[in-house]
Structure 1
Amino acid sequence: MSDAPLKDFPVVVPFPVHWSEMDAYGHVNNARTFTWFESARIAYMARVGLVGPSAAGKDTTVGGIGPILANTHADYVRPVVFPVNLVAGARVTRVGNSSITFEHVVAGADDGVVYTRGGSIVVTLRYATNEKVPVPPEVRVAIETLEGRTAGG
């Protein structure tokens, strides 16, 4: 894989495009982009301890605190057409008091062609009371470590 577009993304998730993802316009439906972003974002949050293992009927938050999506957007660079294997990357560009800003890229797994760029913001929430809470310190440290930055730098 030509990894140039994703070289600075610490979490990269591979997946194939399925024929059924194509729409009437002859390319993968644009809504799929948000599923690819989500897959990379969830993998990232699992790596830094913001979400726990998923099990039927079980709470996947850590200590009752977990992420909730506040915003997401995409810039479509070129249409995705079957057949292709893709990779979706996620990295954190900012950690606020109670929010985490992600950057996303979807590219060809074999050639590195960029199909979509975008981002998202998640807010850390105490699910029992539906209130925003600060990003837990251990999650901040895990993000900085994963990103290869020093805390506060």
Structure 2
Amino acid sequence: MSDFHFYHPIEVRYGDLDPQGHVNNAKHLTYFEQARVAYMIELGLFTKDQSFMEIGVILADVHITYFEPVYFGQKIKVGVHAAKLGNKSMTWEQNIVDADTGKELATGKVVMVTYDYRTEKTISIPHEWREKITKFEKQSVVE
């Protein structure tokens, strides 16, 4: 996994738990999504009140590797790193770490595609997004 320049704190909720008393594995994907949206808002790619019908993103592929369980009350943060920008796709590397110890609890790789929900077609990643992401990541992420 890469160095992360962006972390988003996550509050583990009681409803995130499964019968075994730890966070259900499916919630990790929700945590990843929440952190990616926060990243995009932080970079000005989206606003909190914007309609996603104009320029949206859809999930194309996801892989998660789990190292340790996450528990209720545990302070965690989710890292987001744009690893690669294609013509229409964005590959994100993400991780979940214990906020107190820095220990990595899970890693993930997510591929998203830019999408116009009105025309129901994939679209090229906006040039402005490329510029902002590359500047923030401090390296070229263009494929």
Normalised by the size of structure 2, how large is the TM-score? 0.89
Question: Post-superposition, which runs of at least 4 consecutive aligned residues in structure 1 deviate over 6 A?
Answer: none
Higher-Rg member (1/2): 1
* Percent identity over paired residues: 35
CA separation in 1, counterparts of 2:77 and 2:123?
Answer: 32
In the alignment, what sits opposite 2:52? 60
How many angstroms does 1:16 deviate by? 2.4
Letter in 2 for 1:12: Y
Give the gaps of 5 or more residues in structure 2: none
CA separation in 2, counterparts of 1:152 and 1:34?
Answer: 25
Letter in 2 for 1:108: D
Give the gaps of 5 or more residues in structure 1: none
Q: For 1:88-143, what per-residue CA distance to the aligned partner results, in whole angstroms no more than 9, with x for missing partners?
A: 01111100000100001001011111111001111011221011111111110111
In the alignment, what sits opposite 2:66? 76
Normalised by the size of structure 1, how large is the TM-score? 0.83
List aligned pairs for 1:30-69, cutoff 5 A.
30-54=25-49, 59-60=51-52, 64-69=54-59
Question: In the alignment, does 2:96 pair up with 1:101?
Answer: no
Question: In the alignment, does 2:103 pair up with 1:113?
Answer: yes
* Contact 1:14 1:88 survives alignment (8 Å): yes
Aligned length: 143
